[in-house]
Chain A
Amino acid sequence: MAVIESIHLTKIYDEGPVKVRAVNDVSLKIEEGEFAAIVGPSGSGKTTLLNIIGGLDHPTSGKVLINGNDISELSENQLIDFRLHNIGFIFQAYNLIPVLTARENVSFVMLLQKRPKAEREKRTEELLKEVGLLDRINNRPSELSGGQQQRVAVARALASRPKFVLADEPTANLDSKSTANLLDIMARLNHEENMTFIFSTHDSRVIERARRVITLEDGHIVSDVQQTPHT
């Protein structure tokens, strides 16, 4: 069974007299362990598609099934719970909680999941070690570089042991070195833990590393190809 399945997904924004079809009849399946990039020019509907898959936005029509469950049937609170336990998010602007340290940012979602303290502490240290930031564990986001913040965001996204991670333009604000470093980490986690990653991006460095590239134009899927990633 596909981890994610979108069926005839359409999102129309009603902006006065103009109706914008941000996502137009998109059907796709993402299997467990995929490392997929949704690509396309600005305004092609990448972020909207990712937001609908992540339960942050509602489609105008169509369905999103996660492990066979239709998430459009969930109430707001159920959807929040669903996201907490099933989806890891990585945002373009890192979006860490500024008043919490790297350690607290990572363990925060596990706290929301009501995991025991010992488990939280152990996993937080493991994840921050994994992303190479064990020495910055007690630093706040303002004391970290953009690349380091995004690595903490990756650790946070994985902390809840999600079924898949949605990353919206995760490298948009990073330099080449930080981008390469981040992609290495995510590729390793995908390879070693079979974690499913879906990116929206128009960064060629990310596209090169993806095993599947889904191209959107004007809300349509115009191509969906498997490729051998560059390492």
Chain B
Amino acid sequence: MNFRLAWRNIWRNKRRTLITTASVFTAVILAILMRSLQLGAYDRMIDNVVSFYTGHIQLHQAGYWEDQTIDNSFEPNDSIYTILQKTKEITGYVPRLESFALASAREMTKGVMVVGIEPEAESTVTRLKEKIVKGRYLTANENAAILSEGLAKYLRLGIGDTLVLLGQGYHGASAAGMYPINGIVKFPSPDLNQRMVYLPLKQAQQLYSADHRATSIVISIDQSKDASVVATELRSSFKGKPIQVMDWREMLPNLVQLIEVDNAGGIITSGILYMIIGFGIFGTILMMLTERTREFGILIAIGMKKMRLISIVTLEILMISGLGVLLGVVLGIPIVSYFHFNPIHISGEMAAAYERFGMEPVFPFSIAASLFYTQALVVLGITLVLAIYPWFRLRKLKTIDALKS
């Protein structure tokens, strides 16, 4: 009966209920779209850097991260690989030898990041092979290089051309080599796209006079959100060994900070939106209570306990806001899904501006379930907080005064 009474009561003033529901709906759908766009962009940024380059977790020689020189490289051995194999969350791992070099072609030169990889294993972890846009991928034993697209463009190099690398090797040895270009990769991250050179691991070890050595072991896991948990697990496994374990959040503090700051902005904007809606709902509650004071008096006079009356009024408020949430979520799902599978591509000067900040000008929407239930919980929370007022007012209501109103 409470439910039926509450449902009928909310339709006593159709216009007011529809306006309140519409305002909740507007807030919910705006919040869903805004947060979906934000979270989708964060996922994309993380995916671009983590999945295509850093991996979720890396192992280094202790001290490497603070002083990233080839002298702080290490020799990966079976005891390290055994631990990685035993950790069930790990889906793949691959050693890398990374260092800087000066890349030269004809009259052009540029500082680049040279990454020595085990081509097939690397591709299972970072899907590098999928990023080839010209030429072909590397094989383990060939003397060849692949370049990122931006770098190739800068150096005006194409497939079959020769790239010259100059740098400093392990313990001060000089590093110099010439490599025919096998393929060109394109990274979504503009930063990576401007500076990457990949060599087969053996070629890189030869170039830097660092036989059998690696600067990192890149690890991928099932879920990027579990990275810190798995990293903690690995830290305890490598306790006492000179191995540094870092998850992507520790390796990319700037990215994490950027996301956190932007995310906080989004949360504040949603908060303001919901605060405005909260006042709207509160206005409806005030009107509802004032209009029906006499009726409440009658109900109490004929024998309805105040708690039951309070629960009916609370139910009415929950129904009005619940309808708004339901509509917002139901309409939000197809919109968000569409933009998840058809991301917004920004072009022109705006795109160039994003790229200057190292961001890809592509914005897919997130379809995380939490996006939807969070809105429902927030509105539910606001409604319950607002329901304190009718609870307070009805508790204090004097039957005789209500009947006289």
Contacts and interface: CB of A to CB of B under 8 A. Distances in A.
B303 A84 contact: yes
Given A95-B298, A99-B8, A100-B8, A160 B399 contact: no
B399 A156 contact: no
Interface in B280-334: 294-295, 298-306, 308
Contacts of B275: none
Contact of A80 (B11, B295, B305, B403): B305
B225 to A, nearest CB: 48
A99 B302 CA distance: 16
A78 B39 CA distance: 55
B88 interface: no
Contacts of A204: none
A99 B303 contact: no
A51 interface: yes
Interface of B is mostly: helix
A56 B403 CA distance: 9
A98 interface: yes
Contacts of B369: none
A110 to B, nearest CB: 10
Interface string B187-227: 00000000000000000000000000000000000000000
A190 B295 CA distance: 28
A24 B9 CA distance: 41
Contact of B12 (A51, A77, A99, A111): A99
Contact of B302 (A57, A76, A89, A98): A89
B12 to A, nearest CB: 6
A123 B173 CA distance: 104
B5 A80 contact: no
A89 B301 contact: yes
A74 interface: no
A80 B400 contact: no
A113 interface: yes
A133 B117 CA distance: 90
Nearest to B304: A112
A54 interface: yes
A85 B303 CA distance: 8
Nearest to B395: A76
A70 interface: no
B300 A80 contact: yes
Contacts of B108: none
Contact of A54 (B301, B306, B308): B301
Interface in A22-56: 51, 54, 56
Contacts of A54: 301
B399 A56 contact: yes
Contacts of B399: 56
A76 B304 CA distance: 11
Contacts of B298: 91, 95, 97
A56 B294 CA distance: 13
Interface in A47-101: 51, 54, 56-57, 76-77, 80-81, 83-85, 89, 91, 95, 97-100
A109 interface: yes
Contacts of B350: none
Interface string A169-201: 000000000000000000000000000000000
Contacts of B305: 77, 80-81
A46 to B, nearest CB: 14
Nearest to A57: B400
B303 A109 contact: yes
A160 B12 contact: no
Given A51-B400, A56-B399, A56-B400, A97 B299 contact: yes
Contacts of B300: 80
Interface of B: 1, 5, 8-9, 11-12, 294-295, 298-306, 308, 399-400, 403
- Which 3 residue pairs are nearest across A and B when measured between Cβ atoms? A84-B303, A99-B8, A57-B400
27 contacts: A51-B400, A56-B399, A56-B400, A56-B403, A76-B306, A80-B305, A81-B305, A83-B303, A89-B301, A89-B302, A91-B298, A91-B403, A95-B295, A95-B298, A97-B298, A98-B12, A99-B5, A99-B8, A99-B12, A100-B5, A100-B8, A109-B303, A112-B303, A112-B304, A112-B308, A156-B302, A160-B303
Interface of A: 51, 54, 56-57, 76-77, 80-81, 83-85, 89, 91, 95, 97-100, 108-109, 111-113, 156, 160
